[in-house]
Amino acid sequence: MALSQFLERLFNNNEAPFFFYPSSRDKGVPDHMCAMLALPISLKPEHYQTFLEAKVAGISDVFQAKLGWLLGQMYSRVGTPDTEPATIKSLTKDFLEGRAVWLDEASYAFVKSEIDLRKTAEAPVFGPSEVASIISSIPKKKTQAIDAIIRIAIQSGVLEDGRSPQRIKLRRFLESDPDLAKLIGK
């Protein structure tokens, strides 16, 4: 979630562990405040009157309901048994390592175009092994960057077109350069 989205949710009091209270100088609240609802503070019943007398401002009925909803999001839970920790760990591992594949937009576009190209009337659906094969053929960012550098060098006349020794030497140099690897990644 982007910071701007988080702040919008916070200011609208839709972010469960927090309650935002805007400043209201006329009511004695000079600055914006944010309560961390998950932070417990023990209050003794005999101190209630002291707190009530020290109260500077309150919240309207609508915001009382919103605060109740936020607290309910955190603490209202149906009493059902939890799944065994070993089962949760196994499921999490399966989803992260085997079933879910995280791709950036360019990689996703490549995989989608490959699937669209290979799809036929006889084989409209791909199994996990076919998809894994396509994913493993995604061009690496470093390889794409090196290809782009060589293409630019050829277009600008720095390198000759074709398999020249200079082109091979440049490719090897770029492939082994640690600084380029740090900048681009794999």
The domain spans of the chain are: 3-75, 85-136, 141-184
Q: 24 near 38, Cβ under 8 Å?
A: no
Q: 31 near 20, Cβ under 8 Å?
A: no
Q: 150 near 156, Cβ under 8 Å?
A: no
Predicted TM-score (pTM) above 0.85: no
Q: 180 near 174, Cβ under 8 Å?
A: yes
Q: 149 near 174, Cβ under 8 Å?
A: yes
Q: Residue-wise pLDDT tens for the chain (186 aa)?
A: 678 888 888 888 888 889 888 888 888 788 888 889 888 888 889 999 998 888 888 888 888 888 888 888 888 777 777 778 888 888 888 777 766 678 888 888 988 898 888 887 677 777 778 888 888 888 888 888 888 999 998 899 888 888 888 888 988 999 898 888 888 876
